[in-house]
């Protein structure tokens, strides 16, 4: 009985295929025949990257346009408006 065997060619191709897709944000290991994926980048970093990407794609890089879009949404609550006002006030003091 063999205890170790080299990975199948399809597994090697699959492993090579995963690496560029996730751009260093997701790591993986093998457990038996299964791939186990784990994040390599923190949640806050992913969120910042996603917001910057969205700004560039949909708001021509303008934070003001994004902010105005948020304010024009009829579903925004009074509490959310208050939080945004407080954030603007605190940024003005910096």
Q: Does any domain span residue 93? A: yes
How much is the average pLDDT of 78-94? 92
Confidence of residue 43 (pLDDT cuts 50, 70, 90): confident
Domains identified in the chain, total number: 2
Looking at the fold, whether 73 and 47 belong to one and the same domain comes out as no
Q: Does any domain span residue 8? A: no
Domain range for 28: 17-58
How much is the average pLDDT of 11-35? 66
Looking at the fold, whether 39 and 25 belong to one and the same domain comes out as yes
Q: Does any domain span residue 85? A: yes
pTM of the model: 0.54
Model pLDDT for residues 61-70, shown as the tens digit of each residue: 999 999 899 8
SS (H, E, C) the chain: CCCCCCCCHHHHHHHHHHHHHHCCCEEEEEECCEEEEEECCCHHHHHHHHHHHHHHHHCCCCHHHHHHHHHHCCCCCHHHHHHHHHHHHHHHHC
Looking at the fold, whether 67 and 89 belong to one and the same domain comes out as yes
pLDDT at residue 5, rounded to an integer: 58
Looking at the fold, whether 67 and 52 belong to one and the same domain comes out as no
Looking at the fold, whether 49 and 22 belong to one and the same domain comes out as yes
pLDDT at residue 37, rounded to an integer: 80
pLDDT at residue 4, rounded to an integer: 54
Looking at the fold, whether 26 and 48 belong to one and the same domain comes out as yes
């Amino acid at each position: 009985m063999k205890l170790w065997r080299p990975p199948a060619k399809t597994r090697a191709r699959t492993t090579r295929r995963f690496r560029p897709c996730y751009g260093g944000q997701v790591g993986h290991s093998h457990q038996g025949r299964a791939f186990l994926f784990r994040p390599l980048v923190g949640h806050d970093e992913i969120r910042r990257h996603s917001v910057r990407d969205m700004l560039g794609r949909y708001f021509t890089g303008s934070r003001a346009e994004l902010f105005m879009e948020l304010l024009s949404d009829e579903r925004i609550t009074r509490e959310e408006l208050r939080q945004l006002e407080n954030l603007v006030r605190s940024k003005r003091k910096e």
